[in-house]
Chains A and B, each alone.
Chain A
């Protein structure tokens, strides 16, 4: 088992205490609610997409440090990106936290700090909840559950 600090890196602790873009986006073009029935974590993601570009993105909800930090880092990483870029980043991020042979690519930027969760299979869904919810919002589904 890895050290606690490999999981709870400073960036994660900081984003948990001071989440970025923790707000509603009005008006928004896309929205979805995510729910992790295992732990009761909830997240709402709202975005305004203009010409295929994520102009604004915000999240709200209640969750553990991993899910809060992941949502916060995600919104920071996605503002100004195209929808296609966001999907590609989701795929890369998903690999990072679920595959042992994945390595933090430079393209992932700060969200690579979440790589430590792959040593904690019970916590992977905490890290991916915001991303699954984003995916649902972009696919115009209202709700997603990590079940």
Chain B
């Protein structure tokens, strides 16, 4: 599945179930400014269920040791717990082989890894890298650095007024000079779900490999790398209810095998002399040094948690919230929604009259509502719409219709003060 799950084909998570799920997250037991916490900044980072917190706690408290090298039992248990998560990630993404799963610090590091190890050796003056006009800074800056270094050019396919990729324009920018394509699956600033499958197929016609930035799509959508036919896919643990500082690069095994290491160090070698080193096979080749062991274990617990609920059910629930919030915000005088794509995930960027998003954010905070205000690390998107910033509400599996109502009521306070 690469698109938002249609409501009619799946059961939405009922409000009652959401209340039960909320009880899994200790943070919701704490009031915010004396009020019920309404957390609507899930696109930035999601809250953690007890199962994830407990898994990290158990790792450190019951079986922690460094992985891969120890011959003692603790090290074996740690190694097993760490390595078992590769299988969970593979299943989550419908990959073919556990060795395709590389643990990194997050989606940002995954993109930098691909830029360094796959793209850089293939890039020369006059070559091009193609991205879209709605990329996060993490899918712009690594390519700019690489282009600066190699004399290549970063080509951007602009977005439409609705905040969609113009697939015809995207196609027209693919040429014999294009050496790599890196595209966002779901825009963090606009919520747009891109037709990545179609874009990947277009790039493959030119023999160009494609990385899909899935930081905003896992687990808000069901992702199937086999169906997408992408070459690389990445996401961050902290956005799927797991810990920060851990993420995943999924890559086709044949490509990973031919790639040079990203960092040199322990764990990533087969044999070292002062003259030269032989590198380990993927994924170890890309995991130099002691990794974030407990973080990976926590990521595994987060994947178990979302899979037990079902990513399609989560997508359906968030889509229902998106539709409800879009309608409710549309009724608020002066609200203008930025990003009105036909296919959207649970992200709503909006403006309210001439009120600055930071003032909206502060007023909402005092009502117990956490939203994001700013450029969302997507300044070119803001430039596209000629605005400095937006307010953004983004949904997670624990949000309710009531959360949307509280948001809308809190916007009345914004109006009282500033309009």
Interfacial chain A residues near B358, Cβ < 8 Å: 39, 64, 66, 123, 126
- The secondary structure that dominates the B interface is helix
Contact indicator B389/A39 (Cβ below 8 Å): yes
Interfacial chain A residues near B373, Cβ < 8 Å: 39
The docked-state distance in angstroms from the alpha carbon of A135 to that of B278 is: 57
Contact indicator B33/A7 (Cβ below 8 Å): no
**Also in contact, A40 and B388, with CB within 8 A (given A13-B417, A65-B418):** yes
Contact indicator B366/A40 (Cβ below 8 Å): no
Residue in B357, B363, B379, B389 whose beta carbon sits within 8 Å of that of A4 in the complex:
B363
- The answer to whether B374 has its CB under 8 Å from any CB of chain A is yes
- The answer to whether B356 has its CB under 8 Å from any CB of chain A is yes
Residue in A4, A40, A65 whose beta carbon sits within 8 Å of that of B413 in the complex:
A4
Interfacial chain A residues near B388, Cβ < 8 Å: 39-42, 62
From B33, which residue of chain A is reached at the shortest CB distance? A1
Contact indicator A40/B382 (Cβ below 8 Å): yes
- The answer to whether A8 has its CB under 8 Å from any CB of chain B is yes
Interfacial chain A residues near B375, Cβ < 8 Å: 39-40
- The answer to whether A63 has its CB under 8 Å from any CB of chain B is yes
Interfacial chain B residues near A40, Cβ < 8 Å: 374-375, 379, 382, 388-389
Interfacial chain B residues near A13, Cβ < 8 Å: 417-418
The docked-state distance in angstroms from the alpha carbon of A38 to that of B375 is: 8
Interfacial chain A residues near B417, Cβ < 8 Å: 4, 8, 13
Q: Which of B33, B356, B374, B413 has the most CB of A within 10 A?
A: B356
From B373, which residue of chain A is reached at the shortest CB distance? A39
The docked-state distance in angstroms from the alpha carbon of A99 to that of B208 is: 56
Give min CB distance, A147 to chain B, whole Å: 14
The docked-state distance in angstroms from the alpha carbon of A17 to that of B373 is: 20
Give min CB distance, B392 to chain A, whole Å: 13
Interfacial chain B residues near A64, Cβ < 8 Å: 356-359
**Also in contact, A65 and B356, with CB within 8 A (given A1-B33, A40-B382):** yes
Interfacial chain B residues near A120, Cβ < 8 Å: 362
Give min CB distance, A40 to chain B, whole Å: 4
Contact indicator B362/A7 (Cβ below 8 Å): yes
The docked-state distance in angstroms from the alpha carbon of A144 to that of B67 is: 47
Instruction: Report which A residues bind B (CB closer than 8 A).
Output: 1, 3-4, 7-8, 13, 16-17, 38-42, 62-66, 120, 123, 126
Instruction: Report which B residues bind A (CB closer than 8 A).
Output: 33, 355-359, 362-363, 366, 373-375, 379, 382, 388-389, 413, 417-418
18 inter-chain pairs at a CB distance below 8 angstroms, sorted by A residue, are A1-B33, A4-B366, A4-B413, A7-B362, A39-B358, A39-B374, A39-B389, A40-B374, A40-B379, A40-B382, A40-B389, A62-B388, A64-B356, A65-B355, A65-B418, A66-B358, A66-B359, A123-B362
Extra contacts, 6 of them, besides A42-B388, A64-B358 (Cβ < 8 A), are A1-B33, A7-B362, A8-B363, A39-B373, A63-B356, A64-B359
